[in-house]
Each structure stands twice: as C-alpha cells, then as structure tokens.
Structure 1
Amino acid sequence: MQNKLLAALSLLGFLIFMGCDNTQEHRVIKLGHGLDVNHSVHKAMVKMGEDLAEISGGKMELEIYPSQQLGTERECVELLQIGSLDMTKVSVGVMENFAPKMKVFGLPYLFRDKEHAFQILDGPIGKQLLDEGEDYWIKGMGYYDAGSRSFYTKEKPIEEPSDLKGMKIRVMESASAIEMVKSLGGSPTPISWGELYTSLQQGVVDGAENNPPSFYLSRHYEVCKYYSLDEHTLLPDVLIIGKHTWDHLSDQERVWLQEAVDKSVTYQRVLWEDSEKEALEAVKAAGVSVILPNKEPFSEKTKSVYKQYEQDPEIKELIDQIKSTR
C-alpha cells in the first residue's frame, strides 16, 4: 500500500514538473478514482470534463485517472488532504471516516426507496453533510447514485439472516457496515476493493456486499455464484475536492466547477438505471443465482444498529429528520 501511495505521489509530481499550467488563465483539475472506465460514474466524470471545458470557455480542464492508477479510495483521499490530488470519488461508507455524521447514510433500511434517498441527498440534510469533512481538508460537491448494496457469496445463497451466521463478509472500512454485518450474524472483514477478488478466490472471505454494477464490473461473479438482493443499504458515492484546491479557486472557477459537477450527477443517475439492469442480466447469463429474499427479517435484525447510533444526539436528530421527510 505504501509503495502504491509513493508511486501515485511520484506520478503527480512528474505531471506537475512537466508543466501543467495551473494559472488563472488555465486551471487543470486532477481527478483520480478506483472504478472501471465502463462504470457510470467514470462516464459521468468524462462528461463533467467536457462540460467544464465548455462552461469555462477552455479556462478549466479535468484530467481523469481511473482504475486505481493513483491508489485506493482511501489513498486518494489522503492525496487530497495533502494537496497532491484535486478530486476523487469515495463511497459514503469510506467518507464517514472523514465526515463522521455521514455514517447515518450507512444505517440499514434507512430510506423508504430511491426517491426518498434523492430527496434527502439533494436537500438541506445532504448539502449540510457535504461540508462535514472540511476539518479533514475535504469538501463534498455532489452525490452519485450507487444503488443498493446486497450480499454475494461463494458457497451458499443468503435467503435469511441466519444464513450469514459465521460467514466472513468483506466490508468497507466503515463502522456502520461492520455493525450491520455483525447484527446479521456475519463476521465483517474490512478489505480494500482492489484486493477483494483475490481474497474471494483464496477463501480469505466467504462473500461480500455491493451493488449490481460493481459486482459485475469487478468480475466477482466469476467467484461468487449467489447474489441475494436484500438491499440492506442505499449508499451513494460522494464526489469530493481537496480544500487545498478549493481554497485556491476563484469565485468564478468554483461556480463553473460546481455547475459541471451538478450536470454530471444528473447524467450519472440516468446511466445508473441502465447499468443496474445490464449488470443483473449479465451475471445471470454467467450462471449466478439471483435470490430475492424477504427483506423484513433483515430489517428487523438490523434494528439493533440504530439503538447504538441513537445514543449520539446529533445522529439521532438526523435519523428522525430523514425518517420524517415525506
């Protein structure tokens, strides 16, 4: 991991040395992320770059480094914090380590449906939480759709919570994800996304949890032949910018960049709907059994997670506000 981080820093240093012009006349924004180039988020970022160049009249440019070229999600966040990278995408599950109140989004079965989720994310609560990471030199700019997360496993399907008992399930470095899996009887095992395929192959973990496009594009379906759509969490991705970069942008540049981000968010959410359907069809064609379990027992078992988080008055207030929003 340390070698990868050093390599990323070296690459960025080389790019700067080669003379990328970051004067007010031409601002280059470097964006690194860990997703495949066929992912809807990457396609939305490409559009963001096109829109940014058009909106700014060529005064701003976006350079994108996909597929973990600059490191894992957490490594990219660390590069943002020291000013060696401008922007990245992280899951809310990872973001909660830098913006603690965002852990509320990791609570299982928090949202009634996707419409309710977007209402919260695009409303006052979501916008307030985008600024929660400023003490860590991070500023949120928008939420991409990452669908619902469900369990996929190697040896047996997950049809009810008891099926998870004793199973090692890969989770993100997220306290809420760890507590959620524990509440269902599983053994949560944090592993970086880039190492998960091998970990599944070698039996380090028995399964994982993620959305359909990630399950498909990662090729984890080659190892895991059971996908149980319990849809326990609806975690968005967050597009973030380093405060080092944001503070050096002019007011006009901030307006241009935010407009391009907003356009990309709208575009990505449309792409996501199609990518979910395509992913499910593709994994079924590859021999994966897609299970539709009764979600009620899962929801009931995970209520214990709420009791723990409601001990924090600020989180309890957020939960109440989200659940009361109609």
Structure 2
Amino acid sequence: MLIKKNLIALTLTGLMATTMSLSTAAKTTLKLSHNNDKTHPVHISMQNMADEVKQLTNGEVIIRIYPNSQLGNQRESMELIQSGSLDMAKSNASELEAFEPSYGAFNVPYLFKDADHYYKALLDPEVGGKILDSTKGKGFIGLTYYDAGSRSFYAAKPIKTPADLKGLKVRVQPSPSALEMVKLMGASPTPLAFGELYTALQQGVVDAAENNPTALTLMRHGEVSKFFSEDEHTIIPDVLLISEKSWEKLTPEQQNAVKKAAAHSMMTHKDLWAKMVAEEVKKAKETLGVEFVKVDKQPFVDAVKPMHDKALADPVIGPYVQKIDALR
C-alpha cells in the first residue's frame, strides 16, 4: 500500500512539473524600447497597455518596457525591430518616413487644422488604420499612435515670420520632409541626435530647434532658448510598433488582445498628454522665463505650400493627404 501511495505521489508530482513547464513555455515576454523616462505620458500609457494585455491574456503575454533608450535610440530600435532582434518600440512618423513612405503623409506641414482634426484622421480606418498596416512585409507593423503635440520653433530670439529664420541653422529630425520644410522657410536644416541638442544650442552649433513645448523643461532646452514661437507647423504622432516575427508568435486571440489594449492606451494617453503639456508650459514660463510668442501662421503656410501641392501629387501619400483634407 505504501509503495502504491508513493507511486501516486510521484505521478502527481510529475504531472504538476509538466503542467508548470508547459505554463512557463506558454508565456511570451515582449521587450518594448522607448526613449522617454518613466514619468513621461508615453511610458505611463505603455504601462497601462502592458497591464491590460497581461489581464486579457491571463498572463500569457507580458510586455516588459525599457525606457530611456536602454536598448538603443529610436533609429537603432527600428533596425533591431526589422531584424526581429527586438519585439516592440516607439518611433515617430518623421523617422518612419525613411522606412515606409506612407508615414510621410503625417509630416506635411500645416496638414491638420487642430487637435480634433488630427485625432479624426488617426482614428479613420482609411487613413490612420491603413498607414499602420502599410509596413506589413517590411519587418514590422504599427499598433497605435501616441500624441506628441504640435511642433514649433524655439531659439534665442522670437521667430514671427519665415524671414526671421533666414540664415539660421535649425536642428531637425532625420526626415526628408523636415529638411524640405526648413529649407522652404529659408533656414539651414541640421539633422542632429536629440540627446545632443542642449549642448548644440548652448554652443551655437545650431541656432534654433523645433519641437513641442515639453522639450523646454524635460530636456532643459528652455535654459538656452528663451523664445518659443507658436507657429505649430506640424503635429507628428509617435507610433507604437511590433516586429512581424514577434507578432507571428502570438495566437490570433493574443494579437487581438494586444491591438485592443494598444487602442485603449492611445485614448488614455490623449488626456495624459494634454495635462502634461499644460503643466510644462507653466513651468517653462514661471521657472525658466521662456516667452511664448503668438505668430501669424499664414506666411509660414504660404512658404511651405509647394510641399502640400507635391504631397497631393504623390502616388503614395497623395490619397492620404486628400482624405485628411476632406476631414477638416
């Protein structure tokens, strides 16, 4: 009888070990890289998504987030994603234009009338949806968008018209659209890593930059650039991506869970972003003494009109720009 009981106990132990082994094998961990810190709305939004994915998949899919460019900068992350060496990453439409021309639609200056128009386009299946899917077969897929605000010029002097940009070296992202826009406005575009920008502004390597207002405080650019000229030339979304190799490892149910959680995180991010921008603008004014300059946008719009006309005639992005125009 004792031998029989021992055999049963051993059998049960073996079954439990096998079950635990299968459970461990079934768990999928996805590494997600981004270049912001843990207090940034993007990180908080991604963490919300990761929590929801874990809940929806009963712990079968875990998203582990690596902030502050721990796994490489955005460009390096994109290359790792394409090769399948990294599961997920946050990039933006400016950088993605070099990997997929469709993202160039979002880089056309003065394309969006306001934030409502911007969200309407992102949520439209024929615009935002198709652009996210446009990279299938290129190593990665878009999951959702995150608001990164409207971009304006900041420098040691006010920039009220394109004439004020003449002769200035302006830091831009490594995007063909950004380069063309700054040239049309009369300045000299200078691609430069974002992490090097503070020193470049301080030492006069560049005279100006363009970004959303949070760069003034979070990256301390307001210490060396005291005028933020609100021309709001572009509203370029951040984009959450997943490697196709990693995507194909997930079951259809898990893929649906990831898509659902990503879509939810986009909308919670909308509120987080708006709150943070208001707080950082207040800090920039009160703590750093940055002056926010209202400008007449029309001269800037006129300067870059050739880009809008060119975009409409482009066979890849033209249909998207046309649809975005129609959503005004």
TM-score strictly above 0.5: yes
Q: Deviations over 1:164-189 (max 9, x none)?
A: 00111111111111111111111111
Give 1:313 shift. 2.8
Could you tell me how far apart the structure 2 residues matched to 1:119 and 1:55 are? 27
Q: Matched residue of 2:316: which SS?
A: helix
Give the counterpart of 1:136 among 130, 135, 138.
138
Alignment correspondent of 1:55: 56
Q: Deviations over 1:25-64 (max 9, x none)?
A: 2111100111122211111111112112111111111111
Alignment correspondent of 1:308: 310
Q: Matched residue of 2:26: which SS?
A: coil
Give 1:149 shift. 0.4
Could you tell me how far apart the structure 1 residues matched to 2:48 and 2:57 are? 14
Larger radius of gyration: 2
Query: Quick check: 1:323 aligned with 2:321?
Result: no
Counterpart mapping for 1:1-326 below 5 A: 25-124=26-125, 125-153=127-155, 155-285=156-286, 286-326=288-328
Q: Deviations over 1:175-228 (max 9, x none)?
A: 111111111111111111122222222221111111112332111112111111
What amino acid is the match of 1:170?
Answer: R
- CA RMSD after TM alignment: 1.6
Q: What number of residue pairs does the alignment pair up?
A: 305
- Give the conservation status (yes or no) of the 8 Å contact 2:172–2:190: yes
Give 1:292 shift. 0.9
Could you tell me how far apart the structure 2 residues matched to 1:22 and 1:164 are? 60
What amino acid is the match of 2:128?
Answer: G
Q: Percent identity?
A: 42
1:24–1:143 CA distance, 2 compared to 1 (3 A): farther
- Give the conservation status (yes or no) of the 8 Å contact 1:39–1:217: no
Q: Deviations over 1:263-296 (max 9, x none)?
A: 2111111101101101110111111111111111
What amino acid is the match of 2:65?
Answer: I
What amino acid is the match of 2:46?
Answer: M
Give 1:307 shift. 3.1
Give 1:24 shift. 5.7
What amino acid is the match of 2:70?
Answer: Q
Could you tell me how far apart the structure 1 residues matched to 2:143 and 2:178 are? 23
- Give the conservation status (yes or no) of the 8 Å contact 2:93–2:239: yes
Q: For structure 1, which segment, 194-203 or 63-72, has the greater mean C-alpha deviation from structure 2 after superposition? A: 194-203
* Structure 1: unaligned runs, 5 residues or longer: 1-20
Could you tell me how far apart the structure 1 residues matched to 2:76 and 2:227 are? 31
- Give the conservation status (yes or no) of the 8 Å contact 2:311–2:321: no
Give 1:22 shift. 10
1:24–1:230 CA distance, 2 compared to 1 (3 A): farther
Q: For structure 1, which segment, 38-47 or 130-139, has the greater mean C-alpha deviation from structure 2 after superposition? A: 130-139
Could you tell me how far apart the structure 1 residues matched to 2:291 and 2:136 are? 43
- Give the conservation status (yes or no) of the 8 Å contact 1:22–1:28: no
Could you tell me how far apart the structure 2 residues matched to 1:196 and 1:89 are? 20
1:169–1:22 CA distance, 2 compared to 1 (3 A): farther
What amino acid is the match of 2:204?
Answer: G
The TM-score normalised by the length of structure 1 is 0.90
- Give the conservation status (yes or no) of the 8 Å contact 1:72–1:192: no
Could you tell me how far apart the structure 2 residues matched to 1:317 and 1:110 are? 13
Q: Matched residue of 1:98: which SS?
A: coil
Q: Deviations over 1:51-105 (max 9, x none)?
A: 1211111111111111111111111111111111111111111111111011011
Could you tell me how far apart the structure 2 residues matched to 1:221 and 1:143 are? 27
Could you tell me how far apart the structure 2 residues matched to 1:89 and 1:269 are? 16
The TM-score normalised by the length of structure 2 is 0.89
Give 1:235 shift. 0.6
What amino acid is the match of 1:141?
Answer: L
What amino acid is the match of 1:225?
Answer: K
1:189–1:22 CA distance, 2 compared to 1 (3 A): farther
* Structure 2: unaligned runs, 5 residues or longer: 1-21
